[in-house]
Structure 1
Amino acid sequence: MNCIQWRTDGSDPFPSWRDREDYLDRYGARAVLWVGDIRSVHNWGWSPAALCVALRGRLLAGNRGCAVEVGSNDVLVTEAGNGLRLEPTGSGETRVAMLWLPPPTARSRAQDPLPAFFADDAELAVALGRLIHAAQEPGGSMHLCLDLVLNLLAHRQLTLADTLRNCPGRSDRHRRQLYSRLLRAKNLIDHGQAVPLDLAALAEVASLSPSHFLRLFHRVFGASPHRYLVQQRMLRAHRMVVETAVPIGTIAQRLGFINRCAFARLFKQQFGLPATRLRRQASAHLRLGAPRLLQTLGSPSRVAYSPVSNAA
């Protein structure tokens, strides 16, 4: 696969295309690399699969109903199809790199990558940085850097293979389509904003009926969507309690818990300690210069699935 760097002609700072056929007419089987600043919301009505990384600042990337915040060293793999939305978050300028991958053709028999979010993946982010540098240097080895990025991406995609096998389907293509839909909802739970997410909302993101989504999610990931949602938010709560100074009430609110008392009860149930006591013990260990001991404080491995009606 070859790669070209998109350069503005002065009329439009963003690459654009109408649909799959328009992309192939313009670029063929070549990837398109774009680096630029996002100062306001920008939308693509159709987009091939792409790798997105924030070089400076943070951005909210929305794709197929799943919106996640991308920060330093985070790499988002978007799903091919209708809709891609980029929006800067916070103050300051947001600089973004996008690597659009060409749509597969019948002749190539390639497959679009599955949607994924690789949090704090320095190896893949650095490989993308090398590709950007090679594109800007005369005689840069873009093809070698692109091969490295694609090899790393293929290796990351293998981590999804085990759960993909659990997904039913009439054919391999149908199985991947269903799995991609489930991954939209899972990625939203794992990395999306902490907004209330009920079964109907998650099923809508996956473009499935609530009953069908519930059965498929449990079959593929081994837990109901609600139990998985609670588990992931409690793990995030544990990290925030131990690693930050954010007030406990604010943590509960950010993670979508309307009732702080319910959050406190569930936190103690899952980790064996109230959040305030866990934070005090974590701070004491840090002062003693023993950060490894934090692993023994309310270990996240104790998280159990537990329904909480007002958690989301």
Structure 2
Amino acid sequence: MNCMHWRTDGTDSFPNWRDREDYLERFGPRAIVWVGELRTAQAWNFSPPALCVALRGKVLVGNRGCAVEVAGGDVMLTEGGSGLRIEPCTSGDARVLMLWLAPATGKGRASVQPLPAFFTQDHELAGALTRMAQATADIGADLHASLDLVLGLLARRQLALGEALEHCPGRSERHRRQLYARLLRAKHLIDHGQAVPLDLAALAQVASLSPSHFLRLFHRVFGASPHRYLVQQRMLRARRMVVETTVPIGTIAQRLGFINRCAFARLFKQQFGTPATRLRRQAMLQARSSVTRAFGSLGATQRVGYISLPGAA
């Protein structure tokens, strides 16, 4: 796959096209890389599969009804063939690399789209994309070599991601991949989306499936019901916030969509075997102990010998 770097010409800051045919007519079967400051929301009615990495700040990526935050070290691979929206998460701007992969052409394997994915703190892939961003600023750099490296890393991750395909029903691999991609939309929303209330109907709508069909398929592929998986993931996020931040426990519960703080406290203790307040105290004591040991080793008394140098005053 060849690659072109989109440079702002003073009129169009971002590459744009109407649909798949317009993309292929204007750019051919080539990937497009764009690097720049994202100050306002940008949207496309159609987008091929795209990789997004935040070089600075955070960006909100919306695709197929699923909006997730992409921070430094994260990489988002969007689902091709639908709309795409990106915007900075804060009032400030963000620096972003977008890599649009060429729309699939031909038949058979040539028509297979990559599965959507969210790679959390994938420093290997994010680093390769960052080096690609640097290559766009270097006239002598080989942009195609950077693309080959990114595609190689992506192919390995797609193989691992596709292992669950065997659990998806379908008449053909193409049909199973389409169904799996729908389920991944809902899973990504649970794993990485904003902490808003999500019920079965909302998740099924994101997956474009009926609630009953979605419930059966999600459990079959991921080994847990959507509700159970949602609670597990939000509890894990809550634990990280309890241990790694000083955000009040009640605020953590609210941010993760728990209206009832008592229900949150019961679930937390049930999940981790200890109340959130006690876990925070333990984490703080452990952190202080680590600092004390570190400073203790640095502050150990050492004998310093002095020698007289010839001719010294």
TM-score above 0.5, yes or no: yes
The reply on whether 1:175 has 2:176 as its aligned counterpart is yes
Mapped partners of 2:12, 2:288: distance in 1: 53
Offset at residue 110 of structure 1 (A): 5.0
Residue of structure 2 equivalent to 1:78: 78
Deviation >6 Å, runs of 4+: none
Residue of structure 1 equivalent to 2:48: 48
Mapped partners of 1:122, 1:160: distance in 2: 18
Bigger CA radius of gyration = 2
Mapped partners of 1:109, 1:115: distance in 2: 17
SS state of the match for residue 84, structure 1? Answer: strand
The reply on whether 1:88 has 2:95 as its aligned counterpart is no
Letter in 1 for 2:48: P
Within 5 Å, which residues of 2 pair with 1:89-168?
A: 89-106=89-106, 109-168=110-169
Could you list the per-position Cα deviations for residues 266-292 of structure 1 after superposition, in whole angstroms to 9, with x for gaps in the alignment? 1011111100000001111111118xx
Could you list the per-position Cα deviations for residues 16-36 of structure 1 after superposition, in whole angstroms to 9, with x for gaps in the alignment? 011111111111111000012
Mapped partners of 2:89, 2:208: distance in 1: 27
Q: Which runs of 5+ in 1 are unaligned?
A: 291-312
Letter in 2 for 1:100: W
Q: TM-score, normalised by structure 1?
A: 0.91
Residue of structure 2 equivalent to 1:184: 185
SS state of the match for residue 283, structure 1? Answer: helix
Residue of structure 2 equivalent to 1:256: 257
Could you list the per-position Cα deviations for residues 206-258 of structure 1 after superposition, in whole angstroms to 9, with x for gaps in the alignment? 01111111111011111110000001011111111111111101111111101
Residue of structure 1 equivalent to 2:223: 222
Offset at residue 147 of structure 1 (A): 0.8
Residue of structure 1 equivalent to 2:272: 271
Could you list the per-position Cα deviations for residues 186-223 of structure 1 after superposition, in whole angstroms to 9, with x for gaps in the alignment? 00000000000000000000011111111110111111
SS state of the match for residue 290, structure 2? Answer: coil
Residue of structure 1 equivalent to 2:290: 289
Offset at residue 65 of structure 1 (A): 0.3
Offset at residue 179 of structure 1 (A): 0.3
SS state of the match for residue 223, structure 1? Answer: coil
SS state of the match for residue 86, structure 2? Answer: strand
Within 5 Å, which residues of 2 pair with 1:20-31?
A: 20-31=20-31
Mapped partners of 1:159, 1:258: distance in 2: 37
Mapped partners of 2:172, 2:224: distance in 1: 24
| Aligned length, in residue pairs | 290
- Cα-Cα RMSD: 1.2
Residue of structure 2 equivalent to 1:239: 240
SS state of the match for residue 231, structure 2? Answer: helix
Could you list the per-position Cα deviations for residues 89-126 of structure 1 after superposition, in whole angstroms to 9, with x for gaps in the alignment? 12322111100000111167152211111111111111
Q: Which runs of 5+ in 2 are unaligned?
A: 292-313
Contact 2:112 2:174 in 1 (8 A): no
Mapped partners of 1:282, 1:41: distance in 2: 39
Q: TM-score, normalised by structure 2?
A: 0.90
SS state of the match for residue 159, structure 1? Answer: helix
SS state of the match for residue 120, structure 1? Answer: coil
Mapped partners of 2:93, 2:230: distance in 1: 32
Mapped partners of 1:279, 1:213: distance in 2: 37
